[in-house]
């Protein structure tokens, strides 16, 4: 039995998406200066999951050749999301353990801000793995019930994001964009001052003239 082989375009899109996540982590943590080592497995799992999703979406509709479905490469492609979920859960356990034993973390943490997001992400990952276990080893027994729980956990996580620390994923990105904009604006002002000192006429400020 054979299946479509890796499509180069889909592979490129998957790698590009994964690199985008890596770049976001690098920028958001200030070149990894503020990166929490306890989240390393969670970060790796997120990168692999992004690659898997982007690859699958791009692959649809393309003729991608053939490979043996019993090969190691096929097994990895079929189970990449499951492997990502395992890595995410390892990272979550490490992060949760740290919050339980670290005195400094326990002194400032709250359930809603620090524990609940770990529980929600763990629920999404665990129920996703349970779906695989159900159809591979239990002949689909309990699949519909687990699917409902999985959907509910995903919806709960999506609803929680705007109100918790996970919103930093978007907030930090916006803050970096504002910082880059301010830096560029400051550079423009310095260039304008330099032109004035050199006797050159700076470009007219259209906004200030229109306001008069």
Residues 8 and 79 in one domain: yes
Q: Does 182 fall in a domain?
A: no
The predicted structure's pLDDT at residue 60: 65
Domain boundary among 87, 120, 138: 87
Q: pLDDT of 70-113, one tens digit each?
A: 888 788 878 888 998 999 999 999 988 988 888 888 888 888 88
Residues 30 and 80 in one domain: yes
Residues 78 and 117 in one domain: no
Conformational region of residue 168, where left means phi above 0, alpha means psi within -120 to 50, and beta covers everything else: alpha
Question: Which domain range does residue 22 map to?
Answer: 1-87
Cα separation of 82 and 104, whole Å?
33
Residue for token digits 């006797």?
Answer: 199
Q: Does 194 fall in a domain?
A: no
Q: Does 60 fall in a domain?
A: yes
The candidate with the shortest Cα–Cα distance to 124, out of 87, 145, 149, 159, is: 149
Domain boundary among 53, 87, 121: 87
Q: Is the pLDDT of residue 146 over 70?
A: yes
Question: How many separate domains does the chain show?
Answer: 2
Predicted model pTM: 0.57
Residues 50 and 83 in one domain: yes
Residues 13 and 82 in one domain: yes
Q: pLDDT of 154-197, one tens digit each?
A: 999 988 888 888 887 777 777 777 777 777 777 766 666 666 66
The candidate with the shortest Cα–Cα distance to 168, out of 5, 39, 13, 8, is: 39
Q: Does 38 fall in a domain?
A: yes
Strands (E), the chain: 2-3, 67-68
Q: Does 204 fall in a domain?
A: no
Q: Does 154 fall in a domain?
A: yes
- DSSP per-residue codes, 156-192: HHHHHGGGSGGGHHHHHHHHHHHHHHHHHHHHHHHHH
Q: Does 52 fall in a domain?
A: yes
């Amino acid at each position: 039995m054979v299946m479509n082989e890796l499509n180069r375009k889909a592979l490129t899109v998957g790698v590009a998406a994964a690199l985008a996540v890596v770049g976001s982590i690098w920028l958001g943590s200030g070149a990894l200066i503020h990166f929490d080592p306890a989240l390393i497995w969670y970060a790796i799992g997120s990168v692999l999951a992004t690659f898997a999703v982007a690859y699958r979406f791009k692959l649809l509709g393309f003729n991608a050749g053939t490979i043996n479905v019993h090969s190691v490469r096929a097994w990895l492609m079929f189970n990449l999301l499951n492997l990502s979920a395992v890595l995410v859960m390892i990272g979550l356990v490490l992060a949760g353990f740290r919050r339980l034993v670290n005195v400094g973390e326990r002194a400032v943490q709250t359930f809603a801000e620090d524990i609940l997001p770990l529980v929600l992400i763990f629920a999404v990952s665990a129920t996703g793995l349970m779906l695989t276990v159900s159809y591979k080893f239990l002949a689909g027994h309990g699949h519909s019930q687990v699917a409902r729980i999985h959907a509910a956990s995903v919806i709960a996580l999506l609803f929680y994001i705007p109100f918790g620390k996970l919103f930093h994923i978007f907030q930090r990105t916006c803050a970096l964009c504002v910082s880059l904009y301010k830096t560029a604006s400051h550079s423009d002002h310095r260039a304008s001052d330099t032109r004035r000192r050199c006797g050159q006429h700076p470009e007219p400020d259209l906004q200030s003239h229109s306001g008069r």
